[in-house]
Structure 1
């Protein structure tokens, strides 16, 4: 089933030009989150919803010159900013809907997804698609450089009880989508949920 992602594209298109300058100090947090994937030389990793490609240097370093880094995003303006920043040197930039990735089943060793889960129109379907492209035993890292409470405060709102990223909601959702959650970190300085592909 195809979804209308116009609102997501509009949201990020208007923010693309200033995106990196708004968050200039996130590099170490991205690198630490990538480490959780346990990638090795020659591995294949997908950066799902890569935005301006801030994770790409760390992902390339993890898989080495012989590895494959595929960075997919729905918004052309974000990929344009990634190119302007020279990040195409670290991986292949792909204009694609992460709920329908043009990748073979089981072709990736891991998926990195920064800030993605809240923008999926159908989170279960989106997580199932990420599971489809990862081999059994492969890994997923759901990441945000700001925790749930800090992010809510940044936007001037209270943390909602029904927040999709709450542990009580997210862990069962991951399980239903084919992932076994192996940790849950929600601190002001980061949100990080690693999982392993089951089956």
Structure 2
């Protein structure tokens, strides 16, 4: 399948679910707040929510960087961005429709990146993680987050964990290193997955 076909299928999948997306996951708020806190954002900094979906993390990111900071939310699916606007989450952030593999941002534009649920949608993991590194300043941080553990997520989809899974610690550490990141913390608990990395350089 070509990248264009894969993008179209991803858009179609999420477009059909955008209106009801948050009703499916009503209890994720505290886990999103904890993931944002782990980024260690400071007032006045800039942050990208890559694959922001309906924007659940955007108010939390705005609170962390304060009124002088910059919050960007980017998602591949226009319908998700529409939902973010409808819920008032366009107010604390600039919202963009775009592909995380080709970010419409200048080099070293942000201090940090949040990628909630992003890992499983990276078509070319090393290249895509390198694109996130490109737009992040040296020393900046990346949080790859899921509001559930890998085992629970796999069970939900009727599969078991594989050693080849990108999110397995050795694989993710290697991919991040090749892309210009250093993995600093890895947690795969029952109720959340969080990998924190720092931009090399």
TM-score normalised by the chain length of structure 2: 0.96
Q: Are 2:14 and 1:3 equivalent residues in the alignment?
A: no
| Structure 2 portions without partners, runs of 5+ | none
> Counterpart of 1:9 in 2: which secondary structure?
helix
- Aligned pairs for 1:4-23 (under 5 A) are 4=4, 5-23=7-25
> Counterpart of 1:124 in 2: which secondary structure?
helix
Q: Are 2:150 and 1:154 equivalent residues in the alignment?
A: no
Name the count of aligned residue pairs: 198
Aligned equivalents of 1:175, 1:52: Cα separation in 2: 30
Instruction: Report the counterpart of residue 36 of structure 2 in structure 1.
Output: 34
Aligned equivalents of 2:128, 2:26: Cα separation in 1: 28
Match of 1:142 among 141, 144, 147: 144
How many angstroms does 1:36 deviate by?
1.1
Deviations 1:1-48 (A, max 9, x none): x93111111111111111010011111100100111110110000000
Deviations 1:40-87 (A, max 9, x none): 110000000000001111100100011000000010011111111111
Instruction: Report the counterpart of residue 169 of structure 1 in structure 2.
Output: 171
- Aligned pairs for 1:1-199 (under 5 A) are 3-4=3-4, 5-199=7-201
How many angstroms does 1:142 deviate by?
0.3
> Counterpart of 2:153 in 1: which secondary structure?
helix
How many angstroms does 1:125 deviate by?
1.0
Aligned equivalents of 2:139, 2:77: Cα separation in 1: 30
Give me the CA root mean square deviation: 1.0
| Structure 1 portions without partners, runs of 5+ | none
TM-score normalised by the chain length of structure 1: 0.97
> Counterpart of 2:173 in 1: which secondary structure?
helix
